[in-house]
Chain A
Amino acid sequence: MKELRSPQQEAAEDIFFGQLVIIWARWFVILTGAILALWAASSISELTVASILIVALMAVNFFVHGRYMMERPINRTLTGLVSLIDLTIITLIVLAWRGQTGLDSPFFIFYYPVLAAFAFVFTPGFTLVYTVLALISYAGATFVSDPAALLQFQDLELLITRLITLAAMGGLGTYYWRIQRNRRRLAKNPQAERSRAPAGD
């Protein structure tokens, strides 16, 4: 039985079904951001700025989640754009939130679920770009916050460790994405040889 779907149609289906993972990753980031903002804000202006940011993110995610629940999920371009906004916001938090910036910022961990979710949904090519962008953003944010820190042996070790684990999220996510696509193709066409199943996007 010949496969009727093109790789482009399959990728569109991946976005259609898989964007729930990205939505939930974003809800977790919003939840954590809200807890931290309400708990840790030390002034009215700090709380105001944090609240506006969180409400804006909630509004975006509510719109995206609502569309998904109505079975009219947003398209690939919009999903990619919103994911880029996620990266930007997390990088801004690493750069500026609560005086703990760059390598000292504990909020770089927001990158982990966001990267994993993106890798589950998008094709390997897009995931590679997104992961590299996240790594550059984080490394750039640490460099901008304290250029001298990266010349220190221990700080550089810390940065490399974090970059390796961040890259691992993108890599493992995309690896599992490939496995699942091959399994799906096999489910549609059991005669296909497992080892011959194409892996590229």
Chain B
Amino acid sequence: MTNKFRLTPQDPEDLMYGQSVIVSARWILVVSGLFLALWNPGPMSELRMQILFILLLAIANFYLQAQLLMKKPASSGVVYFASAADLAVISVMVILGGGFESNVYVFYFPALLALSVAFSPASTLLFAGGAAGFYTFISFGSALFGDIDIQVLIARLIMMTAVAVCGQIYWRIERDRRSAAVKARKSLVAQLREVQAATD
């Protein structure tokens, strides 16, 4: 139970397994985005743009999903780029929805959860920090057109951080449990070999 925070390089296997969580989170974003766009459609030009964005996201995600199904997960660069694109799309939707007043910010939560269990601590820090920073910037930007509630903004930012931190803590706990399991197996195999050698 000693989980000290340390910056570790990205483990390709972690990224491979975590990618499926990111892809699932993106499907949630696509389906919910489509639902939101069609439930209460804005002007025709705006709706057209929204659907175009969502379809592009769906096509990209279909490609990544297909790669996973064929057991050929995308490279780390592609995964990082796609996750950055997710956060960018959510941020654009927040800006279009009025900045701080927009209710679309809730999509940051599943996106941050997904990347926090797939990425290394350093990358998670970068992405979560970037998302929180950008959301703060958007919120203060929208203050030019109306009031923002600083307390509510702080609560949102802390909860975004909380989701990413919880994902990272779980990521580290599981990594430690796996490495303990591997050590235990190796030690058991060594003991069995010793016993076998002694009996032979």
Contacts and interface: CB of A to CB of B under 8 A. Distances in A.
24 contacts: A13-B177, A17-B173, A18-B170, A20-B3, A21-B166, A28-B158, A28-B159, A35-B151, A106-B152, A109-B156, A112-B159, A116-B163, A160-B35, A161-B103, A165-B110, A168-B110, A169-B109, A171-B24, A172-B110, A173-B113, A176-B21, A179-B17, A179-B20, A180-B170
Interface in A151-201: 153-154, 157-158, 160-162, 164-165, 168-169, 171-173, 175-176, 179-180, 183-184, 187-189
A36 B150 CA distance: 10
In the complex, the 9 A-B pairs of residues with the closest C-beta atoms, listed nearest first: A28-B162, A113-B162, A168-B110, A106-B152, A187-B181, A120-B170, A180-B174, A165-B106, A109-B159
A24 B158 CA distance: 12
Interface of B: 1, 3, 17-18, 20-21, 24-25, 28, 32, 35-36, 39-40, 103-104, 106-107, 109-110, 113-114, 117, 149, 151-152, 154-156, 158-159, 161-163, 165-167, 169-170, 173-174, 176-179, 181-182, 184-185, 188-189
A92 B167 CA distance: 26
A172 B25 contact: yes
A107 B110 contact: no
A113 B128 CA distance: 14
Contacts of A169: 109-110, 113, 163
